[in-house]
Structure 1
Amino acid sequence: MIKFKYVILYVEDVELSMNFYKNTFGSEIKFITPEKDYGELMTGETSLSFASVSLANSNIKKGFLTAKKEDKPFGIELGFTTDDVEALVEKALKNGAVLYEDIAVKPWGQKTAYIKDPSNYLVEICTEMQ
């Protein structure tokens, strides 16, 4: 059996990133290492996890690109649905996010907005698909 179990974001500050997602989206912290270099949030069957760049470097010997605030975000997004896009975007901004694409209504009726989290990862905040 194959199961999609987790996504790990490589970040400079694991605790800061975890607290952003906890405080903005209500995801409880499952655990964080005593060194604060790895942690997981409870998000259902698939965990949203965070590893420090230094820990990731010890595992990925060939290297990788890191998310930098001065760069555009990577071509991947995390998606969160809500009934109140405006309120959740405002909450994200108060918790340290940056608005990347303002709220828009798609031709199929879905309301979407894009923010960058404090580590420069792209996050879509949207209503459910109709």
Structure 2
Amino acid sequence: MEIKFHSTVIMTEEFEQMKSFYQNILQQKIEFDFGNCIGFKNGLSLWKLKEEYPVAKYLGRTFDKSGNKNLEICFETDDFELVVENIEKHKLKYLHKETEELWGQQTIRFYDPDNNLVEIGETISCFVKRFRNQGMSAEEVSKKTSVPVQMVNEICQEN
């Protein structure tokens, strides 16, 4: 028997606003659209529950306005500066603008229309290459990022 991860589902009351946010601002492509449930190609789904659905009956509601306090939806890009420039054109509620994590990755965090925390960060290869291009040795990059030296070398195509 195998259990395979399928997707993360965000239940929302503001379905069209959330759909527009993920489709237009975060540029996610829709894989399927069933009207009140859509799935993006990245595995994220949006669902506007109806009262008759079993999950809504068990929860006793179709939506909880308190949001998801322990959930972060993460995206990565090799074009961090360009993505940040595009994101900042929109009026979003930010947790923080560009910052460097302890391991060196550049990130930005903001909230979607339902107050779910969204992160966009550099890919591992992006920040590893950035440090190597700044003159750090593979060993120094590994120490800062926790990426093994062998992987640093592979990313930077060194032997």
* Normalised-by-shorter TM-score class: 0.7 to 0.9
CA displacement at 1:12 relative to structure 2: 1.1
Distance 1:101 1:59, change over 3 A: farther
The structure 2 residue matched to 1:59, chosen from 54, 58, 66, is 54
| Residues 6-30 of structure 1: per-residue CA shift (max 9 Å, x gap) | 1110111223212211212322112
Give the equivalent residue in structure 2 for 1:12: 13
Q: Which letter maps to 2:44?
A: L
Aligned-residue Cα RMSD (Å) equals 2.5
Whole-angstrom CA distance in 2 between matches of 1:92 and 1:39: 23
| Rg (Cα) greater in structure | 2
Whole-angstrom CA distance in 2 between matches of 1:101 and 1:93: 12
How many matched pairs? 121
Give the equivalent residue in structure 2 for 1:40: 39
Whole-angstrom CA distance in 2 between matches of 1:105 and 1:62: 41
Whole-angstrom CA distance in 1 between matches of 2:52 and 2:97: 34
SS of 1:62's equivalent in the other structure is helix
CA displacement at 1:3 relative to structure 2: 0.9
SS of 2:104's equivalent in the other structure is coil
Distance 1:120 1:57, change over 3 A: farther
Distance 1:104 1:97, change over 3 A: same
Q: Which letter maps to 2:7?
A: Y
Question: Greater relative contact order (Cα 8 A, min sep 6): structure 1 or 2?
Answer: 1
More helix, by proportion: 2
Whole-angstrom CA distance in 2 between matches of 1:3 and 1:55: 27
TM-score with structure 1 length normalisation? 0.75
Give the equivalent residue in structure 2 for 1:28: 29
SS of 2:18's equivalent in the other structure is helix
Identical residues among aligned pairs (%): 27
Distance 1:119 1:89, change over 3 A: farther
TM-score with structure 2 length normalisation? 0.64
How do residues 1-130 of structure 1 correspond to structure 2 at under 5 angstroms? Answer: 1-33=2-34, 36-43=35-42, 47-52=43-48, 54-55=49-50, 58-60=53-55, 61-63=57-59, 66-68=64-66, 74-95=69-90, 97-129=92-124, 130=128
Q: Which letter maps to 1:88?
A: V
Conserved 8 A contact 1:96-1:117: no
Spell out structure 1 runs of 4+ moving beyond 6 A: none
Q: Which consecutive residues of structure 2, in runs of 5 or more, have no partner in the other structure?
A: 129-159
Distance 1:2 1:56, change over 3 A: farther
